[in-house]
Amino acid sequence: MPSWPDFMKNFDKRLECEEIDDFLDHLNTSVNRRIKKIEEEEKNLSPDKFENPIDMDYYRDHLNEFIISLNATKSLGDELSIIALYKKVETQTVRVLKMKLPNMTSKRLSIYTQFCEALPFDVKTVDGFLSFNELRLINNSIKHEGKVSSDLAKEFPTWNEGAELPDLDLSFQRLLPGVKHYVADLVERLYARGITS
């Protein structure tokens, strides 16, 4: 059985994201089920079911608009998953920082630059930092502009400044392993310093 400090360190190193995965699973299942139902309805349309045959085209347009709306709902869910993941990382790391470094306040740690200054080492040397930083910049892009920010495009040239934020579900899955490494290494380093406020 590990000691209590080792237990707490191992607990703090784990970034649990099951609730985000469950949220996305439920949302995507619901959206996909509804889209499939609408597509089935559209496939079974026939002019004889309408008083005026041209009404079938109007109804088909209505169904397509509904599918567009459902896809927008899925995109919103993808944005929320990025924001939730970043918030989890932020909350967990601030909690550990406040526990391990004296005189840290939530206000001081809420700004990324001040968070970096509070660390007793260069945050860029933490394993998984690139994943964390991309997540942070995507999160900021979602919250502030809704499009790829200049900071995100500058740091990660695969993103095009001013463009929509496509495939955030794929970005979430791509970044998650690195972000987990980031949290684990950051916590390991803070615990290794042996400081407790």
The pLDDT tens digits for 13-72 are: 899 999 999 999 999 999 999 999 999 999 998 888 888 888 888 999 999 999 999 999
- Looking at residue 114, its pLDDT comes to 77
**CB-count exposure of residue 47 (10 Å: 0-12, 13-18, 19+):** exposed
Residues 149/134/108/9 CA torsion (nearest 10 deg): 170
Beta carbons within 10 angstroms of residue 177's beta carbon? 11
User: Does residue 197 surpass a pLDDT of 60?
Assistant: no
pTM value surpassing 0.85? yes
Instruction: In whole angstroms, give the CA distance from residue 74 to residue 9.
Output: 36
> How much is the pLDDT for 8?
81
Per-domain boundaries in the chain = 17-192
Torsions phi, psi for 37 (to 5 deg): -65, -45
Q: Which of 89-103, 148-162, 175-189 has the lowest mean pLDDT?
A: 89-103
Side-chain-side CA neighbours of residue 120 (13 Å): 15
pLDDT tens for 96-140 read: 888 887 666 656 556 778 778 888 899 999 999 999 999 999 999
